[in-house]
Amino acid sequence: MLDFRILNNLIISSLIMLLVCSCSNKTIPSCMQFNSFTLSNYHRDNGNNLNSQREFCCILDKIAMNEIYPGTDLSCSKILTDYFYCNICFNCPENNFKTFNGNNYSINSNNPIEITREIINLLKNMTMGGEEFELFLLKYPNFQ
């Protein structure tokens, strides 16, 4: 017969292994104020809850995302926050975009122009994002 202490140690060891193996190895970055770009420009009718924005976790830093987007006089950050209602967290381990409804999309580029284009191309095929894109094009018809 197994000793109670041995059985107890086996159970505890198994639980610890289960916890260690089930935890994700992804690090959720701390997106403090100095590491983020947010504005008070909230989308007021997103279908889920009022005053929320999309979330973009970006591998680049603030300086890189300040690149001016072709056909506009706006930085990539400004376009995403002001026209497409995105909060941006910089210096993340990977690019991840989260929509109003909670869907996550991996963004595959490491270039600010391409990142912005990829997010806009994703959004313009969605109901609300399509409306935002049309309004954006009215103001910036030379957007590329």
Residue 10 lies in a domain: no
Report d(CA 115, CA 69) in Å as an integer: 11
Count up the domains in the chain and report the number: 1
Q: Name the residue range of residue 123's domain.
A: 33-139
pTM for the complete prediction?
0.70
Residue 21 lies in a domain: no
Residue 81 lies in a domain: yes
Residue 41 lies in a domain: yes
CA distances from 88 to 11, 24, 67, 81 (A): 44, 23, 15, 8
**Token couple for 114:** 């391409």
Residue 11 lies in a domain: no
Residue 110 lies in a domain: yes
Residue 92 lies in a domain: yes
pLDDT (tens, 9 = 90+) of the chain, 144 residues, equals 556 666 566 566 554 444 433 333 343 445 654 455 554 454 445 454 444 678 899 999 999 999 999 999 999 999 999 999 888 999 999 999 998 888 899 999 999 999 999 999 999 999 889 999 999 999 999 887
Residue 124 lies in a domain: yes
Instruction: Burial-class residue 105 by CB neighbours within 10 Å (0-12, 13-18, 19+).
Output: middle
